[in-house]
Structure 1
Amino acid sequence: MTASRLTPLATLSLLALLVLFGLGGCSPQSANAENQRASGTALAEGLPEPEERAPAVRSVSGADGGADSLGPLGQSLDDSRTTAIVRATARVAPAVVSVNVIRTQTVRARSVWESLYMPPGAERRSASFGSGVIVSGDGIILTNDHVINGASRISVTLADGSDMEAEVVGTDPVADIAVLRVRGQDLPTAPVGSVEGVMIGEWAIAIGNPLGNYVGDSEPTVTAGVVSAVDRNIAPSSDDAGFYFGMIQTDAAINPGNSGGALVNAAGEVIGINASILSRSGGSEGLGFAIPIDRALRIARDFLEHGEVRRAWLGLDVEPVEADEWGRTRGVRVAGVAAGSPAAETGIQVGDRLILANDRALTSPLDWEGVLLDLRAGDGLALLVQGRTEPVVLRATAFPSLTAARVTLFQGIELISVTPQIQLERGLVSEDGALIVNIAAESARTLGIQAGDVIIQMNRTRIRSADDAARFFQSLTAREGRVIVYLERNGQLGTRNLYWRG
């Protein structure tokens, strides 16, 4: 038997058949995805809507052997290279920046010998980098809190190589989101999508700057994979600062330096801010996690409109339920309900088991914390309680400590009265007292007290409210001496000595 050889004509015919059957071109799903939601969502009222930009596709051409010289077949080959990933990258990559951070630390002598040659107040400077995403044409950038935490200077490098100094608008360590601002106009912006409707198995594209300034150009790095899972809760490892809730999981390669970069869908919309990986080697092992863009934008909007993150309060605490013989749990148990809270008003009681929250399964207190992380005052929350046929709908309110009347003492100390609602909100042992909610840094250093402390007694006078504390200090007018302050801090009781001169 002799082997047959395809002639050039037969080869061209075979290629044409492949193109006709869709093996050489973009799928209908990719084409439909490209046309979805062309413009980004505005961050807050007054910020410009992210501008739509046509995909910047490089054509393949050339007189000698180029795609154009092959006629219609060459054009089909050229089109097949322009995949959904290429088009999505072209939409988002210009808005992905490198975030360059300088940290300054005071160095202390570790031995007597070091103190002989180390000048007092010696400082050490260190540089690090991460990624960020421009979401507003006037310079609003999203990144991670851990990328810029402790920075004394921040600059960003745009994809075109230009450098701009950045200032911190606000940072939320709980969600690991930081909002930066650079002074610029008509900057490239990334179209933003939503985590709602994200499908497990759909394309996921990670865009960031894992190489920082170690390469000659400033264009971001692109890796591709799929959405592996949603609503993942990640417990901290020894190197991480805290938990991550409700994360998007992807196998697109995310490496150190990618933190703060964009996770993008096939339509060219940012669906997440890359934040964390699980790895034994320190590099990508296919377990990357991104913060949903909805959460990041909500935090940015809070900072821009209110100057702080305004999460909501329901007035109940939960605890885990007993696991079955396989170690699985279903639901969480209500451990405490504050009187007069939204939870109390709906009849929820201690011992109730909560199964679902807004159709989201609750298998542990981590799932519950993930729900609370995205709540804002006025939002509704539908809870499915075991034994009830209909969901219980709660209306979230602002935290009691934010709405409580404040009493201002000397040196910028602000107090509020401890109530049952505030006790549950803050997890306090004391049922009454004066909670310090704000204190100037200099006063904290001088007096040895800090925000979060609860004053429960001064000398022999019991303090049950903020007004009691104010009256006590008023009684010290024209007097001087030592004042023993009894307080609660982190669930423990202690004392501080103040030397008063009225």
Structure 2
Amino acid sequence: MRGLLSCGLAAALAAVAPQARAQDATRSRQTAIVTAAARLAPAVVSVNVLRRERRVAADPFDLFFMPRGYEQTVEGYGSGFIVSPDGLVITNQHVTQGAEQIVVTARDGRDFPAKILGEDPLTDIAVLKIDGGSLPVAPLGKSTDLQIGEWVVAVGNPFAYLLGNTEPTVTAGVVSAVGRNLLPSEGQSGVYVGMIQTDAAINPGNSGGPLANALGEVVGVNSNILTPSGGSVGVGFAIPIERAVRVADELRRFGTVRRAWVGLDVAGAEDLRGWKRVGGLRVTQVAENGPAARAGIVVGDVLLVAKGRRLRTFLDWEAVLLDTGPGDSLTVSYQHAGQPRTARLTVTDLPTTLAEKVAILGGMKVVTVTDAVRAERGIQSDHGALIYDIPDEMEQATGLRSGDVVLQINRTKIAGAEDLRRAFSTAAGGGAVTVWFERGGRLGRTAFYVR
């Protein structure tokens, strides 16, 4: 009898063992990456855009059938993620730019017409609204405590529907660096500073999708890649989630983004490549009765740290301002006459404080930067418009000087004098413009109104 029981028990254990091993194997495959992807994927969407673009006929044969310049409906695509149950979606502004129609597709294949609540080209963030009832929401994390080398996942819809269905694609990598600054370039959608760098594969169509930590919490918005081929080579960049959320909230509440202003201008110690020298930023202008002046900062002081960020180049200061809003308090460490000091600045709204800082551009004289002009003036940039005469009152209003080479206005690359005039004409009456320029071989930025 005892033998029969032993045989029965052995048979039962033998039957259970494969099942237990299978369960153990399944559990061993449940890595942090798997868990993160499962937690985040339901809130990731595809953003499908129709826009009209003006094209130029490339084939001479086409000129017989259509005007040299013609409009064409173009389909674009990107990714996004839902941040509220009632259907707020964060994506990139370069995905939604010029859209006549937007359809957001959820993971389960449902399509939702979307409207744009707001767009901000400077930070490359857009907010969409869809109506879909109680929708899954992406969990949000922090980018401020990211560690170099920690695992992250990029989730999105690369190449749109070419992969066959609406299930988002997940790629894994590590945080390669934080605080990365990208210099302005042709076709660049925004000012990409203070970025998260990752080697997780980011491809066309991933723009606007989330970068998440191993807990499945969104730490950034995938926005940009460096590539010689158009596809991922392991150098991708994401906008920090804190910046994206702040901008999205401004767009949701006001339809625009209020810019931080502290009443000072700085001269970067970097050359146009942006990395050669460190040691702070010299204060070149201080607005009378502005936040910096009230805090005791004067021309000649050297800013070293702001908001906990070391100021190695001008672009570091740009990142601080993008991550700061009106009403915030900004702590700055600086040197005054060689002595260390600390100041707390109360940030105000750029449009409000610059209401009188308006430029009438009729008196500015510019010339296209040619090879001859470049050689004569020692200009480093390969394009731009050289200011060779500017009235004193315009210089004070704009922060530009005779000898400056204007490189970019808002998102528009300035190839020459005509581009500059056209860009200012387009911007007239539309709010503050951001101007990037070369001065003495260094990169600078200013902002002012055009009327």
Shorter-chain TM-score tier: 0.7 to 0.9
2:294 aligned residue: 345
Distance of 1:327 and 1:122 partners within structure 2:
45
1:233 aligned residue: 181
Q: Is residue 275 of structure 1 aligned with residue 275 of structure 2?
A: no
Task: Give the aligned length.
Answer: 364
Instruction: Indicate which of 448, 451, 467 corresponds to 2:429.
Output: 451
2:144 aligned residue: 196
Partner amino acid, structure 2, of 1:341: G
1:219 aligned residue: 167
2:264 aligned residue: 316
Indicate how the Cα distance of structure 1 residues 257 and 453 shifts in structure 2: closer, same or farther if over 3 A, else same.
closer
Partner amino acid, structure 2, of 1:380: S
Instruction: Indicate which of 288, 302, 307 corresponds to 2:255.
Output: 307
Report the Cα offset of residue 243 of structure 1: 3.2
Decide whether the 8 Å contact of 2:117 with 2:128 is kept in 1. yes
Q: Is residue 394 of structure 1 aligned with residue 345 of structure 2?
A: yes
Deviations 1:229-281 (Å, cap 9, x if unpaired)?
11111123444244301111111111111111110111110111000111112
Deviations 1:257-315 (Å, cap 9, x if unpaired)?
11111101111101110001111122111111100111111111111112211122100
Distance of 1:283 and 1:322 partners within structure 2:
30
Partner amino acid, structure 2, of 1:401: T
- The structure that has the greater radius of gyration is 1
Instruction: Indicate which of 90, 96, 99 corresponds to 1:142.
Output: 90
Report the Cα offset of residue 118 of structure 1: 3.2
Report the Cα offset of residue 116 of structure 1: 5.7
**CA RMSD, Structure 1 to Structure 2 (Å):** 3.5
Distance of 1:92 and 1:272 partners within structure 2:
13
Decide whether the 8 Å contact of 1:311 with 1:374 is kept in 2. no
Indicate how the Cα distance of structure 1 residues 170 and 332 shifts in structure 2: closer, same or farther if over 3 A, else same.
same
Q: Is residue 183 of structure 1 aligned with residue 134 of structure 2?
A: no
Distance of 2:285 and 2:351 partners within structure 1:
16
Report the Cα offset of residue 327 of structure 1: 3.3
Q: Is residue 293 of structure 1 aligned with residue 259 of structure 2?
A: no
Q: Which moved more, 1:229-238 or 1:333-342?
A: 229-238
Indicate how the Cα distance of structure 1 residues 400 and 173 shifts in structure 2: closer, same or farther if over 3 A, else same.
closer
Report the Cα offset of residue 111 of structure 1: 10
Distance of 2:309 and 2:125 partners within structure 1:
23
Distance of 1:107 and 1:130 partners within structure 2:
22
Decide whether the 8 Å contact of 2:270 with 2:314 is kept in 1. no
Decide whether the 8 Å contact of 2:351 with 2:431 is kept in 1. no
Mark the runs of 5 or more structure 2 residues left unpaired by the alignment.
1-13, 358-391, 402-421, 433-446
Decide whether the 8 Å contact of 2:125 with 2:244 is kept in 1. yes
Report the Cα offset of residue 166 of structure 1: 0.9
Decide whether the 8 Å contact of 1:338 with 1:424 is kept in 2. no
Name the % identity: 50
Distance of 2:352 and 2:211 partners within structure 1:
36
Instruction: Indicate which of 249, 273, 281 corresponds to 1:332.
Output: 281
**TM-score when normalising by structure 2:** 0.73
Q: Is residue 100 of structure 1 aligned with residue 68 of structure 2?
A: no
Distance of 2:319 and 2:55 partners within structure 1:
38
Deviations 1:325-347 (Å, cap 9, x if unpaired)?
x9322101101000010001111
Partner amino acid, structure 1, of 2:350: F
1:34 aligned residue: none
Deviations 1:200-243 (Å, cap 9, x if unpaired)?
11111000100311122110100001111111111234442443
Residue 381 of structure 1 aligns to a residue whose secondary structure is: strand
Indicate how the Cα distance of structure 1 residues 358 and 138 shifts in structure 2: closer, same or farther if over 3 A, else same.
same
Instruction: Indicate which of 114, 138, 142 corresponds to 1:166.
Output: 114
Indicate how the Cα distance of structure 1 residues 185 and 385 shifts in structure 2: closer, same or farther if over 3 A, else same.
same
Decide whether the 8 Å contact of 1:315 with 1:424 is kept in 2. no
Mark the runs of 5 or more structure 1 residues left unpaired by the alignment.
1-64, 407-419, 430-443, 455-489, 497-502
Instruction: Indicate which of 313, 324, 342 corresponds to 1:375.
Output: 324
Decide whether the 8 Å contact of 1:134 with 1:189 is kept in 2. yes
Residue 281 of structure 1 aligns to a residue whose secondary structure is: coil
Residue 232 of structure 2 aligns to a residue whose secondary structure is: coil
Partner amino acid, structure 1, of 2:339: R
Decide whether the 8 Å contact of 2:47 with 2:103 is kept in 1. yes
